[in-house]
Structure 1
Amino acid sequence: MDLGSSLSIANSGLSAIDYELSVTSQNVSNSGTSGYVSETANVSSAVAGGSGTGVHVAATTLNVNNALQTALYGQNAQVAAYTATSNSLAAVSALQGSTSADSGSTDTLSDLLGNVQSALTTLTSTPLDSSAQAGVVSSAQSLTSSINTLSTTYTQQRQTAEDNVVSTVSTINSDLTNIGALSKQIMSLKATGADTADLENQRLGIMTDLSSELSVTFSETSNGDMIVRTADGTELPTRPDQMGQSDTSVTLPSSTWPLSTSDVSVTSAGYYSTGDSSSQIPGITLGGKDITSHLTGGTLGANITLRDVTYPQMQAQLDSFSSTLATRFNSAGLDLFTDGTGAVPSTNTTQETPAGIVGLSSTLSVNSSYVNTPSSLTTDSSTGATGDVTAVTKVLSTAFGTSTDDVSGSLAAPSSDLGPTGSLSTGYSGTQGLLALATSLTSNQASTIAQASDGLTSSTSVQTTLQTSVSNVSGVNVDDEMSKIVALQNAYTANAKVITAVQSMFTALLDAID
């Protein structure tokens, strides 16, 4: 081998080592960066005519196991959804109390309703006692106050969910269009044979973020572009050209494209329904088409479900209970509970209060006539006689009754055809006594809260396992990288010695010629 070839081989070796050191250093510096995928410097021997001519530098590759990465993306969406749901429902859990006998709770609906029953029982023994009369009013007010607070909490949490939907759509837009902008650069570089590993790593980080906002899948085309789809296969464009439009039509990245929605004030009678012109809550559109039903999982999917399913059902359950409470008391001859206008509530299940029971639980109150004059609880309205416990006794026997006559027909709690669209149901029988209805409501909602909490625990455990598996493949092992640096330093020294030796030989040769 001549001196020129030796010098060329050594120089190419030094260039390759510089490249490998650069990649290794980048791995080490990003070892603590969440979502960073370790890169591998690829070098190989260059051979011509059966003889080595140096070292060839190839494109840097990312250490990614696509199957594991895809599984982690899916798990990210699950964990984010359960997290958003659990965090939201914590506000309800704090108010519900517990139906467990050994919990020590005294604030459940059944507890507060039981206090009303006890106060009425006491009043039958001492009907002329002003403190006993005031006790009934006070316990009834505590009950209605708790119902009002629960209803307000449902509405507040629905509003928070709506606000989160809007903000999450903005975040998703930014992630999608950042992916699109990076993909455009990647495609351009790939077309020229340039290295794209760093850009691909940036894109993977954004893909990880997006996987927590929404259930999505990713597929890379042969030219380096990235196609994003929802869980049901609906394609979400990352650039206008993926929709057949000019990229100049949108400045990337963008927080307002491609998805669009708007924030509104949510009420108990407000709802979202695809294609319903009366729907007060707007959908999420793509190119003018409502695709809300295609956007599931992740933070976005969870908040859509909380806004449109979870809290509306809880509201319907509480409205049904409030209506039944007032109806059964009134049927027994004691109009103790009224709507916001002071009247006995209407029983229409789909109209907003006072025309119906939708939102009734937010306005349910104790009849002002009893609040102002508690003695009227035991005063015969027709004769004016005091100490009359006829109505109170009947309430205890029938309004709190459990026989078929007391809980069926017009006295049954509405359990279906609820809400402004008539599409909601309580999920339990309406032919139960008041105390059993209160317990069923609390238990049903407690179950929803527990499912979210249990789901978060189990899904987080799976996510941790997957993250460990992905890290074993894609993460940076600092010890290994430092070992590579030592080996590369030794290789650098060896190549430098070759160059020094060749230079000395060239100098000696030139001196000999002179």
Structure 2
Amino acid sequence: MGLSQALSTAMSGLRATQASLSLVSSNVANSETPGYTKKTLNQVAGTTGDYGSSVFISGVNRQLDEFLQTQLRTETSGASYADIRSTYLANLQSVYGNPDSTGTIEDTFNKLLTAIQGLSTSPDSQSARIGVVNAAQAMAQQLNATSQGIQSLRANAEAGINDSVNTANNALTQIARINTQLQASGLTDASTSALLDQRDQYITQLSQLMDIRTVTNGQNQVTVFTNSGVQLVGTEAAQLSFNAQGTMTPNALYNSDPTKSTVGTISITFPHGGSYDLVSTNSIRSGKIAAYLELRDNTLVKAQAQIDQFAASMASALSDKTTAGAPVSSGAQSGYDLDLSGLQSGNVIHISYKDNTTGATHNLSIVRVDDPSVLPLSNTATVDPNDEVLGIDFSGGMSSVLAQLNGALGTTAGLQFSNPSGSTLRVLDDGAANRTDVTAASVTTTVTSLTSGDPQLPMFTDNGAPYTGAITANGSQMTGLAARISVNSSLVGDPSRTVVFSTNPPTAAGDTTRANLLLSQLSTASYSYSPQTGLGTNSAPLTGTLLSFARQFISQQGEAATSAKQLADGQDVVLNTLQSKMNATSGVNIDDEMAHLLALQNAYSANARVMSSIKQMYDTLMQAM
């Protein structure tokens, strides 16, 4: 090997060592920088002249386990989803309060029962009467506050979606920008590795928001998709948009039909045109955004439905009156007369009839409807799974009602309806012994007067209006009732009506009829509750007292919060374990870098020594000439 070849070899070694020293310096300086991956020099052996060898720098490598990185992004999405749900369910539990503490639904309801028990014992006591009114007001205010707390959480989730969409759009834009830069450079030097680190950071940020997968091409450009297959970014970024609706109320609900939805939805607009609804298509299934959507549109909606159902059942328990029909016959036909004078929108006519051909007994619930746009009603309009529901539009008067009833039931069920006088509805069988018999009939109406002569008491109102369970184009009156429920203002003005239910003739002094009814309805009577509360099913709805229902849904929320916390903790353990593995394989180890630094210093000294020796040889040769 000639001196020039030796010099070339030493110089190439020196250049490689200098480049390696620069990378070591960068590794050490960025050892605590999030997302930074350890860099190493890619060196290849080469030849100089006929025999000499040298080292060439072909690029900079990132010490990266791509399979581990993919796993880490998946678990990042899952952990973000679990953490958000855990936080919100813990906050929801705070809204309900500790079952053993004061200021909860259960505690306030028990105080109402205690006040009514005192009234039942001392109906003439003015303080007992006022105590019942005050306890009822506290109950209404507790439900109002609980509803407000739930809607605040939903509003926070809506705001969380909006913030997440803005963050996602920024990440998508930055990923597209870096992809373009990588396409233009075509190099694998230190600056390229730094760009790849930056892009990975944005992809990781995106994985916190939604579940994603990535595909990388030969030019180090990455295309990002949702796990459902929607492309988010390549060399150009799609744009997400969210139409936030502002204030959240119990009636603000998501619907896949945009004309019916009253909360925001997420749409994606692609770079070359076209858009897509990511919510209705369930395109986002994990990450923060999925958690916010699930909380806003499902978990917290069910929580609201639970307290709305409690409020509705409590109000109806005290004000609803069921009156059996009067038996009547006409020739071979028999049936019942029903007084519909007190029937209001949402009130129900109950008819039971037997099909003598099959032996089956049918329970029919005829629901008064004053808004024909909601017809026909589904069987979920009542809780009883054995009921067949028929909504009838009463806005056209009795003749229209008869036409609708006879048209719907005259042929199929063999029932005949008529109006013998006034507001009386007569239902008869067909008179044929082998077809249909009407076995029972009654009508449930909502008492609105404090002194109707009936012991039922309209203690609670829907923001001043009677609660009747009406169904309109805006939905069921039950929805959001907990936010609107209040104590009847007439009762607040005259607490004596907690006892006095008739003025002509006047209720006798010391009469406990009304107090006993209130106590019985609230403490021992059993009711059925809608499966929309998340308790029970359509075929087997939850039944029980009001107190047992309250304990059931409060207990359910507590269990859900505990389960969510356990899941979040488990996800965090998995995520931290993967992150530790990632740091071990891709992160900077200071001890390793220092050891490498010593080796590089020795290599640098050796190359420098060779160059120094060659210089001395050249000097000697020059002097000899």
Which residue in the other structure is 2:611 paired with?
Answer: 499
Q: 2:213 aligned with 1:217, yes or no?
A: yes
What are the ranges of 5 or more consecutive residues in structure 1 without an aligned counterpart?
A: 243-256, 417-423
Given that residues 44 and 55 in structure 2 are in contact (C-alpha distance below 8 angstroms), is that contact kept between their aligned partners in structure 1?
yes
Match of 2:511 among 372, 388, 413: 388
- Residue 147 (structure 1) shift: 0.9
- Residue 477 (structure 1) shift: 0.7
Given that residues 237 and 258 in structure 1 are in contact (C-alpha distance below 8 angstroms), is that contact kept between their aligned partners in structure 2?
no
> Distance between the aligned counterparts of 2:188 and 2:552, measured in 1?
66
Which residue in the other structure is 1:11 paired with?
Answer: 11
Q: 2:485 aligned with 1:364, yes or no?
A: yes
Match of 1:413 among 524, 529, 552: 529
Which residue in the other structure is 2:591 paired with?
Answer: 479
Residue type at the aligned position of 1:272:
Y
> Distance between the aligned counterparts of 2:196 and 2:316, measured in 1?
65
Which residue in the other structure is 2:249 paired with?
Answer: 267
Which residue in the other structure is 1:114 paired with?
Answer: 110
Given that residues 48 and 54 in structure 2 are in contact (C-alpha distance below 8 angstroms), is that contact kept between their aligned partners in structure 1?
no
Q: Map of 1:446-457 to 2, 5 A cutoff?
A: 446-457=558-569
- Residue 175 (structure 1) shift: 0.8
Secondary structure of the corresponding residue to residue 34 of structure 2: coil
- Residue 85 (structure 1) shift: 2.0
- Residue 324 (structure 1) shift: 0.7
Compared CA separation, residues 397 and 487, structure 1 to 2 (3 A): same
- Residue 54 (structure 1) shift: 1.1
Q: 2:128 aligned with 1:152, yes or no?
A: no
> Distance between the aligned counterparts of 1:366 and 1:414, measured in 2?
24
Secondary structure of the corresponding residue to residue 12 of structure 2: helix
Which residue in the other structure is 1:440 paired with?
Answer: 552
Which residue in the other structure is 1:316 paired with?
Answer: 305
Which residue in the other structure is 1:245 paired with?
Answer: none
> Distance between the aligned counterparts of 1:50 and 1:480, measured in 2?
37
Residue type at the aligned position of 1:45:
A
Residue type at the aligned position of 2:30:
N
> Distance between the aligned counterparts of 1:397 and 1:188, measured in 2?
80
Pick the structure with greater CA Rg. 2
- Residue 151 (structure 1) shift: 0.7
Given that residues 258 and 286 in structure 1 are in contact (C-alpha distance below 8 angstroms), is that contact kept between their aligned partners in structure 2?
yes
Compared CA separation, residues 430 and 381, structure 1 to 2 (3 A): farther
Given that residues 347 and 356 in structure 1 are in contact (C-alpha distance below 8 angstroms), is that contact kept between their aligned partners in structure 2?
yes
Q: Percent identity?
A: 30
Compared CA separation, residues 26 and 349, structure 1 to 2 (3 A): farther
- Residue 327 (structure 1) shift: 0.3
> Distance between the aligned counterparts of 1:70 and 1:313, measured in 2?
35
- For normalisation by structure 2, the TM-score amounts to 0.73
CA deviation string 1:374-396 (max 9, x = no partner): 22212233315443221110122
Residue type at the aligned position of 1:459:
Q
Which residue in the other structure is 1:200 paired with?
Answer: 196
Given that residues 334 and 392 in structure 1 are in contact (C-alpha distance below 8 angstroms), is that contact kept between their aligned partners in structure 2?
no
Structure possessing the higher relative contact order (Cα contacts under 8 Å, 6 or more residues apart):
1
Greater fraction helix: 1
What are the ranges of 5 or more consecutive residues in structure 2 without an aligned counterpart?
A: 270-274, 321-454
Secondary structure of the corresponding residue to residue 264 of structure 1: coil
CA deviation string 1:464-490 (max 9, x = no partner): 111111111111111101111111111
> Distance between the aligned counterparts of 1:381 and 1:318, measured in 2?
32
Q: 2:495 aligned with 1:374, yes or no?
A: yes
- Residue 91 (structure 1) shift: 2.8
Residue type at the aligned position of 2:115:
A
Which residue in the other structure is 1:137 paired with?
Answer: 133
Secondary structure of the corresponding residue to residue 223 of structure 2: strand
> Distance between the aligned counterparts of 1:66 and 1:194, measured in 2?
19
CA deviation string 1:306-333 (max 9, x = no partner): 1111111111121111111100111361
Given that residues 175 and 233 in structure 2 are in contact (C-alpha distance below 8 angstroms), is that contact kept between their aligned partners in structure 1?
no
Match of 2:601 among 465, 481, 489: 489
Match of 1:179 among 175, 182, 185: 175
Greater fraction strand: 2
Secondary structure of the corresponding residue to residue 286 of structure 1: strand
Once the two structures are overlaid, the 10-residue window that deviates more, 277-286 or 90-99, is: 90-99
Which residue in the other structure is 1:420 paired with?
Answer: none
CA deviation string 1:87-124 (max 9, x = no partner): 2333321121244xxxx323432222122111111111
Residue type at the aligned position of 2:529:
A
- Residue 492 (structure 1) shift: 0.8
Which residue in the other structure is 2:457 paired with?
Answer: 334
- For normalisation by structure 1, the TM-score amounts to 0.87
> Distance between the aligned counterparts of 2:276 and 2:229, measured in 1?
16
- Residue 346 (structure 1) shift: 2.8
> Distance between the aligned counterparts of 2:607 and 2:84, measured in 1?
57
> Distance between the aligned counterparts of 1:37 and 1:425, measured in 2?
47
Compared CA separation, residues 186 and 427, structure 1 to 2 (3 A): farther
Aligned length: 477
Once the two structures are overlaid, the 10-residue window that deviates more, 266-275 or 156-165, is: 266-275
Given that residues 228 and 237 in structure 1 are in contact (C-alpha distance below 8 angstroms), is that contact kept between their aligned partners in structure 2?
yes
Residue type at the aligned position of 1:414:
S
> Distance between the aligned counterparts of 1:319 and 1:468, measured in 2?
47
Secondary structure of the corresponding residue to residue 529 of structure 2: coil
Secondary structure of the corresponding residue to residue 59 of structure 1: strand
- Residue 52 (structure 1) shift: 4.1
CA deviation string 1:67-86 (max 9, x = no partner): 21111111111111122222
Match of 2:239 among 258, 264, 267: 258
Compared CA separation, residues 282 and 238, structure 1 to 2 (3 A): farther
Compared CA separation, residues 52 and 141, structure 1 to 2 (3 A): farther
Match of 2:265 among 269, 283, 288: 283
Given that residues 177 and 238 in structure 1 are in contact (C-alpha distance below 8 angstroms), is that contact kept between their aligned partners in structure 2?
no
CA deviation string 1:408-432 (max 9, x = no partner): xxxx33334xxxxxxx755563421
Given that residues 352 and 358 in structure 1 are in contact (C-alpha distance below 8 angstroms), is that contact kept between their aligned partners in structure 2?
no
CA deviation string 1:435-486 (max 9, x = no partner): 1111122122223322221211111111111111111111111110111111
- Residue 495 (structure 1) shift: 0.8
Secondary structure of the corresponding residue to residue 33 of structure 1: coil
> Distance between the aligned counterparts of 1:351 and 1:415, measured in 2?
21
Compared CA separation, residues 193 and 73, structure 1 to 2 (3 A): closer
> Distance between the aligned counterparts of 1:239 and 1:166, measured in 2?
25
Residue type at the aligned position of 1:289:
Y
Secondary structure of the corresponding residue to residue 257 of structure 2: coil
